[in-house]
Amino acid sequence: MDTHSSSREILSARVRRALNDMAAIRQSLTGAGAVEQNTGTDGGQQNILDIELAAELKSVVDAMRQLLWAYIQALSAKSGRSPQDVMEWYKMQLAVEMLRSARSRNVTPAPANLQGEESWSFEKLYNNALEVSHLHHDKER
């Protein structure tokens, strides 16, 4: 097997594991935030993540975002496409992946009150991604 393709597969596997871990972290933090909001008391609640660790996580995520943006710019320059074209292609790939995943799971539909919350979360995620790409586009100018 080619060393380049082997290292690419290893990196892809690591990225998939990181994505799964990040999704689990997001779900845990979202659940913890909902518990604290519902109880109205955060003094009695044990924080799921201390402030130093949360700050370190944010710092690493911000650094990764900057690295990935530079990577996207390099790939787009190499391909002759604009970074926005690359991002649009990536968003389309994500949408296709999500649809395939949803179709293959065949889960029972969520109750009506949760369906609205899930679509709100997806819309918020999508809008945040658009805002970030827009901010990076403005910085380039």
Q: Which of the two residues, 59 and 138, has the higher pLDDT score? A: 59
Residues 30 and 56 in one domain: no
Residues 27 and 94 in one domain: no
Amino acid (one-letter) located at 25: I
Q: Which of the two residues, 106 and 94, has the higher pLDDT score? A: 94
pLDDT-derived band at 8 (thresholds 50, 70, 90) equals confident
pLDDT value of residue 109: 56
| pLDDT(57) > 70 | yes
Residues 100 and 55 in one domain: yes
pLDDT value of residue 44: 43
The CA-based angle 79-82-84, given to 5 degrees, is 125
**Residue 58 to residues 78, 119, 132, Cα–Cα distance (Å):** 30, 25, 15
pLDDT value of residue 37: 57
Reading the block at residue 49, the tokens are 């993540």
Residues 86 and 136 in one domain: yes
Residue 25 domain boundaries? 1-49
DSSP state of 6: H
| pLDDT(127) > 80 | no
Please state, as a whole number, how many other Cβ atoms lie within 10 Å of the Cβ of residue 50.
9
pLDDT-derived band at 80 (thresholds 50, 70, 90) equals confident
Residues 18 and 35 in one domain: yes
Last residue of a domain, one of 11, 32, 49: 49
Query: CA–CA separation, 118 vs 5, rounded Å?
Result: 37
Residues 127 and 62 in one domain: yes
Query: CA–CA separation, 64 vs 15, rounded Å?
Result: 12
Q: Which of the two residues, 6 and 34, has the higher pLDDT score? A: 6
Residues 11 and 68 in one domain: no
Residues 35 and 57 in one domain: no
Residues 85 and 19 in one domain: no
pLDDT value of residue 117: 47
Residues 45 and 55 in one domain: no
Residues 58 and 45 in one domain: no
Report pTM: 0.50
Query: CA–CA separation, 97 vs 52, rounded Å?
Result: 34
Please give the tally of structural domains in the chain. Answer: 2
Residues 6 and 20 in one domain: yes
Q: Which of the two residues, 31 and 114, has the higher pLDDT score? A: 31
